[in-house]
Amino acid sequence: MTNFDLLIKNVDIITMNDGNMIIENGFIGVADKKICFVSDKLPDDVSFKKEIDGNGKIAMPGFVNAHSHSAMTLMRNYADDIALEAWLFDNIFPIEAKLTDKDVYWGTMLGIAEMLKSGVTAFADMYMFMDEVARAVTETGIKANLCKSPVQFFEGGELKRLDRSQGTVDYYNQYHNSADGRIKVFVEIHSTYMFNEKTLTNAAALAKQLNTGIHIHLLETATEVQSSKRDYGMTSIEICKKTGVLDVPVLAAHCVHLTDSDLEIMKEMNCSISHNPTSNLKLGSGIARVPEMLKLGINVCLGTDGASSNNNLNMFEEMNLAALIHKGVAMDPQLMKADTILKMGTSNGASAIGFTDTGKIAEGLKADIILIDTDKPHFYPKNNPLSTLVYSAQASDVDTVIVDGRILMQNREFTAIDEEKIKYEVHALSKRLLGR
Ligand code: NI
């Protein structure tokens, strides 16, 4: 008799494996943080330390939020209905100049609590005070790709672009593969408009030296198209290629305004693109050419961006919007089918942020699993489960969240996170930050 850690039984499983995408009324076994079997039958001679009855639920891989700034939850519903440049430079940067390490810690804790409650088991984060972000990830049990900028932009209120490469090296050495492998570290390039040719070249060389990837905002707005032409005489994608940025694994957020040639370069250089439809719509940035990216075979994943340009961290909304807006724009309901959208929200995201051992429910992969409670009116009658998840499900339907085999939430209750304390701390510090 083999004794495993956990059994999820009688559950409908969306594996995300091509070939056997759906297993009805199946069983998932977990041992040593990994999935040890997935089957429509319970293996003989096995016992379990803990069992979860998945009757009335769907099991699927946890979502990967491929682009976020978690601590920006602190600025949720603070500066809305404004274009990106005015939003960022006139509203967000002045608040960010006041942020302390404690603010970022609690803002990140709030973001992680929100993400776990909506079924996110891994996320990519770009922000400041990244030690605090690593601390929050380590404490909560979630997984994350964290990035660290080798450039300090401002000193004394002036744009100076100071070299902080050593800080990035130190951060990488301290945190990459830390928290039992739950943290990966990339090099941050905020954007080509905040960097210049020299700092882009240096950041690319640094990523190569560390043998890691780069997380960057690319071509989010039409304004960036103009500024790139003015500053570099070429598109942001072209300057990235020229400076070596695309020679390493790249996680590029947005990519709304790509030329045909930019798209070809992204494909040729094997870049991953995080599509962030809510943020792009809310900031009036435009709509990315996602169907064309997918047709070219580019790895496209989904992200929420920060909660101050969204204004939540809800991957169900991103899936739903990504499924709908491209159909509407192209007047083609056959684009962006449910299985494609689910891959973008899970396995595509996992590989984009450097976790190659998760994103699907398959034997040998890490047990990053969520259960969706479908015993609710908006799920009846029970037809296509893929459509169910993309078109009907809500974040509040996530019942259970498991990361590396550890149950972080069950029956919508956290097992190790003090949600009341997080809300209390964030409420208190937001008064100082936002002056209300
Ligand atoms: Ni962003």
Given 331, 352, 373, the domain boundary residue is 352
Can you tell me the distance from the alpha carbon of 293 to that of 289, in angstroms, rounded to the nearest whole number?
Answer: 6
- In this prediction, residue 156 has a pLDDT band, given cuts at 50, 70 and 90, of confident
CA of 2 to the centre of ligand 1 (A): 46
- Together in a domain, 284 and 406: no
Q: Answer yes or no: do 271 and 204 share one domain.
A: yes
Centroid of ligand 1 to alpha carbon of 153 (angstroms):
16
426 within a domain of the structure (yes/no): no
The rounded Å distance from CA 83 to ligand 1 centre is: 14
Q: Which residues contact 380 (CB under 8 A, 6 or more apart)?
A: none
* Location of structure tokens 């430079």: 89
- Same domain? For 41 and 84 the reply is no
- Pairwise CA distance, residues 231 & 193, whole Å: 8
pLDDT of residue 143 exceeding 80: yes
Q: What is the dihedral sign for C-alpha 320, 322, 326, 332?
A: negative
- Residue 172 CA to residue 195 CA, distance in Å, equals 20
Confidence at residue 436, expressed as pLDDT on a 0 to 100 scale: 58
218 CA → ligand 1 middle, Å: 9
Q: How far apart are CA 12 and CA 6, in angstroms?
A: 17
pLDDT of residue 181: 98
Ligand 1 mean position, distance from CA 274 (Å): 10
pLDDT: which is higher, 309 or 415: 415
147 C-alpha vs ligand 1 centroid, how far in Å? 12
Residues 68 and 55 in one domain: no
The parent domain of residue 382 ranges over 2-61+365-414
**Same domain for 175 and 68?**
yes
pLDDT, the chain, mean:
96
CA 305 / ligand 1 centre spacing (Å): 5
pLDDT in tens, 279-302: 999 999 999 999 999 999 999 999
**Beta strand 299-302 pairing with 369-373:** unpaired
* Omega before 311 within 30 of 0, i.e. cis: yes
In terms of residues, how long is the chain? 436
**Distance in Å, CA 255 to ligand 1 centroid:** 11
Tally the domains of the chain. Answer: 2
Residue 236: pLDDT over 70: yes
Q: Tokens in use for 243? A: 């400076």
Distance 252 CA to ligand 1 centre (A): 10
pLDDT (average), residues 205-213: 98
Q: Is residue 359 part of a domain?
A: no
- The residue-averaged pLDDT of 301-324 equals 96
Q: What is the phi-psi region of residue 3: left when phi exceeds 0, alpha when psi lies from -120 to 50, beta otherwise?
A: beta
> How far, in Å, is the centroid of ligand 1 from the Cα of 74?
15
Distance (angstroms) between ligand 1 centre and the Cα of 410 equals 30
Domain assignment present for 391: yes
In a domain, 43, yes or no: yes
Return the pLDDT at 89: 87
Instruction: Compute, in angstroms, the gap from residue 145 CA to the centroid of ligand 1.
Output: 14
Tell me: do 17 and 69 sit in the same domain. no
pLDDT tens track for 24-38: 999 999 999 999 999
Residue 191 CA, ligand 1 centroid: distance in Å: 10
Residue 255's nearest CA partner among 269, 230, 235 is 235
Ligand 1 centre to CA of 313 (Å) is 12
Please tell me the distance between residue 174's alpha carbon and the centre of ligand 1 in angstroms.
Answer: 24
In this structure, the answer to whether residues 244 and 97 fall within a common structural domain is yes
Q: Is residue 385 part of a domain?
A: yes
What proportion of the chain, given as a percentage, has pLDDT over 70?
100
Report the pLDDT value the prediction gives residue 157, as an integer from 0 to 100: 80
Q: Does residue 69 sit in the same domain as residue 57?
A: no
Q: Is residue 171 part of a domain?
A: yes
- Give the pLDDT band of residue 79 (cuts 50, 70, 90): confident
What is the whole-number distance in angstroms between the Cα of residue 306 and the centre of ligand 1? 6
For residue 286, report the distance from its CA to the centre of ligand 1, in Å. Answer: 15
pLDDT in tens, 339-385: 999 999 999 999 999 999 999 999 999 999 999 999 999 999 999 99
pLDDT-derived band at 88 (thresholds 50, 70, 90) equals confident
Strand residue runs (E) in 219-296: 250-254, 272-275
For residue 412, how many C-alpha atoms fall within 13 Å in the half-sphere facing its CB? 7
CA distance 37 to 46: 11
pLDDT of residue 112: 98
The CATH number covering residue 48 comes to 2.30.40.10
Work out the average pLDDT over 309-323: 96
In angstroms, what is the span from residue 68 Cα to ligand 1's centroid?
A: 6
Residues 129 and 260 in one domain: yes
Give the Å distance between the CA of 270 and the centre of ligand 1.
Answer: 21
Instruction: Indicate whether 292 belongs to any domain.
Output: yes
Lookup: tokens for 161: 């672009």
Q: Ligand 1 centre from 203 Cα, in Å? A: 18
Closest CA to 19 of 361, 383, 349: 361
C-alpha to C-alpha distance for 368 and 402, rounded to whole angstroms: 5
Q: Are residues 169 and 42 in the same domain?
A: no
Tell how far the Cα of 322 is from the centroid of ligand 1, in angstroms: 17
CA 74 – CA 193 distance, rounded (Å) = 25
Q: How far is the centre of ligand 1, averaged over its atoms, from the C-alpha of 421 (Å)?
A: 27
How many whole angstroms from 251 Cα to the centroid of ligand 1? 12
Please indicate, yes or no, if residue 293 is contained in any of the structural domains: yes
Structure tokens at 135: 């601390």
Residues 175 and 28 in one domain: no
Q: Report the pLDDT value the prediction gives residue 177, as an integer from 0 to 100.
A: 98
Same domain, 220 and 332: yes
Question: What CATH number corresponds to the domain at position 108?
Answer: 3.20.20.140
